Amino acid sequence: MSSMHAACMPDPFDLNNPAAFARWSEARLAGYPRRLEDLVVEIGDPYRLTTAEYEAMADRIRRANMVIYAGPPGVERDVVMALGQRFGLRRLDRNWLADSDGLTPLSVAADGTRSGYIPYTDRAISWHTDGYYNAPDRQIRGLLLHCAQPAAAGGSNGLLDPELAYILLRNLNPDYVRALMAPDALTIPAGTQAGGSPRPARSGPVFSIDPQTGALHMRYTARQRNAVWKAEGPVQEARACLESLLQDESSSCVLRGTLQPGMGLISNNVLHDRTAFIDSAERPRLLFRGRYYDRIALA
């Protein structure tokens, strides 16, 4: 059963209903892909998916909250818009570092505003979900990454469905989940944004349940700086356990690979990281990112 479970079904995220959680988590673990290749669906025309292509992509999304499509190289940002809309992703987060169409080109910026932020460098990026610093009413629920050009070396991504992270933590200790659902579990300190305008501090839970859909949402960053965790013991223990799970390279739950030209990730803002990379002067790394306020909507 997917996170978009029917309202009439017992809630697997109810900490007072371990039986419902056990049934749901057993099914999720049984159906979860254990190799990155199992997430990949080859598509011919990204603007006109066949019924078989769409159903294959929807199957991966139901089982893992994400899919990797492998389309023809040479097409770029229009693909992001077309595929996003095909899966119900329409409300783009037009953040101040995005282009006028709402998409953000991810490449190394030698100078300018973007150069001061780690996604626009060749450095590694630790585990996170996108938009963890956004206001509660502007949470990023859908994420699409499209590769136009990979790096000459490095730049791979680790991927993990937040539902799997939830299951692993809850199986170890339900109190970890309870602690991370506190409304002040994680605070991003105040900062500045476009034109030097202030951004207030943002406090919120790591795990939350969307009251409209019953879906699990995760807000997380492994950054050591510019992230303040609640000092309470249970939150700190849960944080340490989650970090340990994400750093476990032997885990079959963490999927890792490098997107190639024409490939992309469509997800319900899954946990991801990025390794450092080496660029080619002639063909520098370029990905297009779309962040959405919507979750994926399957037909």
3-state secondary structure 246-293: HCCCCCCCCEEECCCCCEEEEECCCEEEECCEECCCCCCCEEEEEEEC
For the chain, percent of residues with pLDDT exceeding 70: 93
How confident is the model over 131-156, as a mean pLDDT? 95
Phi/psi at 265 (5° precision): -115, 130
Structure tokens given for 53: 């292509």
Look at 49 and 225; give whichever has higher pLDDT: 49
- Sequence length of the chain is 299
**Hey, which residues does 106 pair with through a beta bridge?**
287
Q: What is the pLDDT of residues 151-191, one digit of tens each?
A: 999 999 999 999 999 999 999 999 999 999 999 999 999 97
Residue type, 35: R
Residues 6+ apart with CB under 8 A from 45: 71
Q: Which amino acid is at 255?
A: L
Q: What are phi and psi of 288, to 5 degrees?
A: -110, 135
Q: Helix H segments across the chain?
A: 18-31, 51-64, 77-86, 162-172, 174-180, 233-246
Q: How far is the C-alpha of 222 from the C-alpha of 235, rounded, in Å? A: 14
Token output for 264: 């992309």
Of residues 3 and 142, the one with the higher pLDDT is 142
pLDDT in tens, 257-299: 999 999 999 999 999 999 999 999 999 999 999 999 999 999 8
Say if strands 216-218 and 157-160 run parallel, antiparallel, or are unpaired. Answer: unpaired
Only one residue has tokens 């510019």, namely 226
- Contact assessment for residue 270 and residue 173, using Cβ atoms and an 8 Å cutoff: no
Mean pLDDT of 216-221: 98
Percentage with pLDDT > 90 across the chain: 79
157-160 and 271-274: which strand pairing? antiparallel
Asked if residue 132 has pLDDT above 70, the reply is yes
Which residues are registered as beta bridge partners of 192? 198
Going by C-alpha positions, the residue among 134, 86, 93 that lies closest to residue 264 is: 86
* pLDDT tens column, 193-203: 655 667 899 99
Q: Which of 262, 261, 190 is CA-nearest to residue 226?
A: 190
What is the structure's pLDDT at 58? 98
Segment 68-72 shows an average pLDDT of 96
**Cα–Cα distance for residue pair 140/218, rounded to 1 Å:** 9
Token representation of residue 20: 């419902």
Mean pLDDT of 54-72: 97
